[in-house]
């Protein structure tokens, strides 16, 4: 298990292997962040809600129980007003 720390500790995750492949479970604290992908990512919000701006799309709110997909080699923006827990699956 690996502990990943981003944005001066404001985003943290633990990596794990699941029946669906490589994944991370983590927390995003309040703030605005920009993420880049190297593979397709499916992000499931477990608790809380965030505003997400996917490439060539408008800002949208994603709440607990909802998910979004970001294709490989893209950048997306996240704006969290409160703590958010997520599970991210990576496509091989």
Helix (H, G, I), strand (E, B) or coil at 31: strand
CA 76 to chain centre: 10
Which are the contacts of 75, defined by CB distance < 8 A and separation ≥ 6?
Answer: 34, 35, 36, 37, 55
CB 31 within 8 A of CB 71: no
pTM above 0.85, yes or no: yes
Q: What percent of the chain has pLDDT over 90?
A: 93
Q: Which residues of the chain have pLDDT under 70?
A: none
Label residue 38 exposed, middle or buried (CB < 10 Å: 0-12, 13-18, 19+). exposed
The residue extents of the domains of the chain are: 3-90
For position 1, what pLDDT does the model report?
83
CATH topology assigned to domain 3-90: Jelly Rolls (2.60.120)
């Amino acid at each position: 298990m690996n502990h990943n720390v981003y944005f001066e500790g404001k985003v943290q995750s633990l990596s794990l292997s699941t029946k669906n492949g490589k994944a991370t479970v983590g927390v995003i604290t309040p703030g605005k962040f920009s993420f880049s992908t190297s593979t397709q990512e499916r992000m499931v919000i477990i608790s809380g809600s965030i505003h997400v701006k996917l490439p060539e799309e408008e800002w949208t709110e994603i709440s607990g129980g909802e998910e979004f997909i970001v294709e490989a080699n893209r950048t997306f923006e996240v704006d969290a007003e409160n703590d958010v827990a997520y599970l991210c699956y990576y496509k091989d």
